Chains A and B, each alone.
Chain A
Amino acid sequence: MIEVNNIEKSFGDAHILKGFSTCFDKGKTNLIIGQSGSGKTVFLKCLLGLFSPEKGNISYDGKTYANLSGDEQRDLRQEMGMVFQGSALFDSMTVSGNVMFPLEMFTKQNKSEMQDRVDTVLKRVNLIDAHHKYPSEISGGMQKRVAIARAIVMNPKYLFCDEPNSGLDPKTAIIIDNLIQEITKEYDITTVINTHDMNSVMEIGEKILFLKNGLKEWEGTNKEIFKTDNAAVTDFVYSSELFKKVRQMYIEERN
């Protein structure tokens, strides 16, 4: 579980995160949504330890990040997996090399043990046949799956995804969403996803945090987001005609 307490972050005069608290539960897919410039990416980078908040703190299963020593912070980071928006795969390495990289860096396993683990996670993301290919030789959806495989290869406790569906076709986006949710349940991970994709919100949003102007505007589940009367949320989530109709149908069905 990740607990966030009254977090604030500024860059110069720009006050990005203005103080809010929330928590992300273990074994659930937690989604952060909000308009561009609402502070989602800064918040995600604070969760990853890449940015230090000026006020407030973040605790990972009771361990407050700011109170940890440098070595303890590094150890904690090794329990985190991250799927970047552009996948951030290492161009010079094959799919297999990319997934093996964290194992080579942080474990004392021998080559065959590492290869077994790599094969296991590549099978899990259905990419075992592409193990010898370079990132430039595979599609965007496959790159995302490699990034997921790399993120889970160390058995992380926390998985962070920054817009995992961006640039993907709807079918592939659903495959990626389902894969992330399945992995979250299977490995009992605390997953936090930063997304703009309303399909993801509806499909896998077990907890949704809506940010507006650096503040928490609303939080709830994907069931609750259908019922909410919060104007900012409805304006953002149901901005398309399709989602307006979906919401209307949901409300009519319940009545």
Chain B
Amino acid sequence: MNYLSAIGSYCIMVWEVFKKPTKWRIMKSLILKEIDELIFGSLGIIIFISFFIGGVVAIQTALNITNPIIPRTLIGFATRQSVILEFAPTFTSIIMAGKVGSYITSSIGTMRVTEQIDALEVMGVNSLNYLVFPKIVALLLYPFAIAIAMYVGILGGWIAGVFGGFSTSADFTQGLQMDFIPFHITYSFIKTLLFSFIIATIPSFHGYYMKGGALEVGKASTTSFVWTSVVIIITNYILTQLLLG
């Protein structure tokens, strides 16, 4: 019953976010600030993780090819498929649920604890629109970050494969181009867009409706990470079934 109530509250919150918009002059600066914080502030960790994940996928694939009949081009192929379909969009989103999600929950939760949200409401400001809408808009740029993650992941695979002596550059490149289905990129970006909405709204929900003090802000951040990850994984399964099944 509590879960149903929370889902209902979440839906009401999302509806309220889009009501009574804040002045564009103010909203514009809020959106730019959130883009800087949520997107540019995360590029470093996204690039770092993607590079090494791509490298590990290439090495693991190479080490598991024991049959000489299987061509070495499979390393590039497997790296591309793994990175584009899962590692860049889903794995990175789980990391983002931790990094960005915790930031969103703790910043909104602290505003709740220190009555800053009450101050906004008393002034007649739609606090949900003011606080959550800029994050949703900023995270619309998240697919660009994931595009970078895909590129860097494949680059990491190429470097690990070629310089690790597992594959030649030509084999790896041929594998990358082999049986390429452009819809996989579309599928990946559709997933990413939905994940970005989840990453913006679920942590906001946990921060906005939290009760208590500093300790509860920490607990809310942890809970929000767990739930954001769970929802991302379930959404990933459903979307994969719907779009590729």
Does the CB pair B115–A104 fall under 8 Å? no
Contacts A82-B123, A86-B114, A89-B116 known; list 13 others, CB within 8 Å. A48-B122, A49-B122, A74-B124, A78-B123, A82-B119, A85-B115, A88-B116, A88-B119, A104-B23, A105-B26, A105-B123, A105-B125, A106-B124
Does the CB pair A50–B121 fall under 8 Å? yes
Q: Is A84 an interface residue (CB 8 A)?
A: yes
> What are the 3 closest A-B residue pairs judged by CB atoms, nearest first?
A77-B124, A88-B115, A88-B119
Cβ contacts under 8 Å, B115 to chain A: 84-86, 88
Q: How far is the CB of B78 from chain A (nearest CB, A)?
A: 45
Q: List residues 56-96 of chain A with CB under 8 A from any CB of chain B.
A: 74-75, 77-78, 80, 82, 84-86, 88-91
Interface string of B95-138 (1 = CB under 8 A from A): 00000000000000010001110110111110000000000000
Interface string of A203-244 (1 = CB under 8 A from B): 000000000000000000000000000000000000000000
Q: Is A140 an interface residue (CB 8 A)?
A: no
A80 to B116, CA, bound (A): 16
Q: List residues 1-59 of chain A with CB under 8 A from any CB of chain B.
A: 48-50
Interface string of B59-85 (1 = CB under 8 A from A): 000000000000000000000000000
Cβ contacts under 8 Å, A80 to chain B: 122
Cβ contacts under 8 Å, B119 to chain A: 82, 84, 88, 90
Nearest CB in chain A to that of B25: its residue: A104
Q: How far is the CB of B117 from chain A (nearest CB, A)?
A: 9
Give the dominant DSSP class at B's interface: helix
A88 to B123, CA, bound (A): 12
Residue of A75, A82, A105 near B122 (CB, 8 A) is: A82
A90 to B110, CA, bound (A): 11
Q: List residues 151-165 of chain B with CB under 8 A from any CB of chain A.
A: none
Residues of A within 8 A of B (CB): 48-50, 74-75, 77-78, 80, 82, 84-86, 88-91, 101-102, 104-106
Q: Is B173 an interface residue (CB 8 A)?
A: no
A49 to B26, CA, bound (A): 25
Nearest CB in chain B to that of A108: its residue: B23
Q: Is B22 an interface residue (CB 8 A)?
A: yes
A106 to B123, CA, bound (A): 9
Does the CB pair A77–B23 fall under 8 Å? no
Q: How far is the CB of A40 from chain B (nearest CB, A)?
A: 16
A82 to B116, CA, bound (A): 11
A48 to B119, CA, bound (A): 11
A49 to B122, CA, bound (A): 8
Cβ contacts under 8 Å, A101 to chain B: 123
Nearest CB in chain B to that of A74: its residue: B124
Does the CB pair B25–A88 fall under 8 Å? no
Q: How far is the CB of A102 from chain B (nearest CB, A)?
A: 6
**Are A105 and B118 also in contact (CB < 8 A) when A74-B124, A77-B124, A78-B124 are?**
no
**Are A84 and B118 also in contact (CB < 8 A) when A74-B124, A77-B123, A77-B124 are?**
yes
Q: How far is the CB of B228 from chain A (nearest CB, A)?
A: 23
Does the CB pair B122–A50 fall under 8 Å? yes
A78 to B120, CA, bound (A): 11
Cβ contacts under 8 Å, A50 to chain B: 118, 121-122
A156 to B241, CA, bound (A): 57
Q: How far is the CB of B48 from chain A (nearest CB, A)?
A: 27
A102 to B124, CA, bound (A): 9
Q: How far is the CB of B112 from chain A (nearest CB, A)?
A: 11
Does the CB pair B122–A77 fall under 8 Å? yes
A-B contact pairs, 19 of them (CB 8 A): A77-B122, A77-B124, A78-B124, A80-B122, A82-B123, A84-B115, A84-B119, A86-B115, A88-B116, A88-B118, A89-B116, A91-B114, A102-B123, A104-B25, A104-B26, A105-B22, A105-B125, A106-B123, A106-B124
